Amino acid sequence: MIQRIQSVFLSLASIAGILMLIPFEKMPLAKFYGEMYSLHLHSLYLENLIPGEISPFNEYFTLPLFAGLVLITVISLISIFLYKNRSMQMLFIKINIFISIIVLGGFFFGYINAIEDKLGVQAIYNYNSFLPALILLFLVLAFRSVKKDDKLVKSMDRIR
């Protein structure tokens, strides 16, 4: 049924993904302030705060992060409506967990390290930069709930 707890967890993962996709002006994922550059990292773009200064990264730098977040959000929304086919729902959630781990690792170990190395500054994180970890947590909880439901249904079939 659609009112199961896994639907709530998948909805929360989708909402967190949507919140990461919206480029709030005052809430970048991370801030980098150096002597030559001042950058704000959003999921959609890398904003240079110094007018007239050329950014050290091209405009397609954040495209893989954005694509991964869109994929996580869409798969979470699709997984909500697969409640009749639990095995397919578990497969979609597993794929989504894998993509979420890649996005989480890519964000913290790829993007942040690349910008820190190039600029020679430390990142200042906002609280919304930890949403990928929250998405992963919601997906794992949803998978556990689907697995528990599947186990319950199989035990009931065994009793008959």
CATH of residue 84: 1.20.140
Q: How far apart are CA 39 and CA 52, in angstroms?
A: 13
Q: How many residues are there in the chain?
A: 160
* pLDDT tens-digit readout, 26-70: 888 889 888 888 888 888 888 888 887 777 888 888 899 999 999
* pLDDT tens-digit readout, 122-135: 988 888 889 999 99
CB 9 within 8 A of CB 137: no
136, two tokens: 């992963």
> Residue 120: left (phi > 0), alpha (psi -120 to 50), or beta?
left
- pTM summary value: 0.88
Helix (H) / strand (E) element for 40: namely strand 38-41
Q: How far apart are CA 75 and CA 6, in angstroms?
A: 14
Q: What percentage of the chain's residues is helix, strand, coil (to nearest 5)?
A: 65, 10, 30
In which domain, by residue range, is 35 found? 5-159
Predicted local confidence at residue 134, as pLDDT: 95
Q: How far apart are CA 28 and CA 127, in angstroms?
A: 9
Where does the pLDDT of residue 158 fall: very low under 50, low under 70, confident under 90, or very high at 90 and above?
Answer: low
Where does the pLDDT of residue 79 fall: very low under 50, low under 70, confident under 90, or very high at 90 and above?
Answer: very high
Predicted local confidence at residue 105, as pLDDT: 93
The single-letter DSSP state of residue 29 is: S
Helix (H) / strand (E) element for 31: namely strand 30-33
**How many CA atoms within 13 Å lie on the side-chain side of 108?**
13
β-bridge pairing 38-41 and 30-33: antiparallel
Torsion of CA 106, 108, 110, 114, to 10 degrees: 160
- Total number of domains in the chain: 1
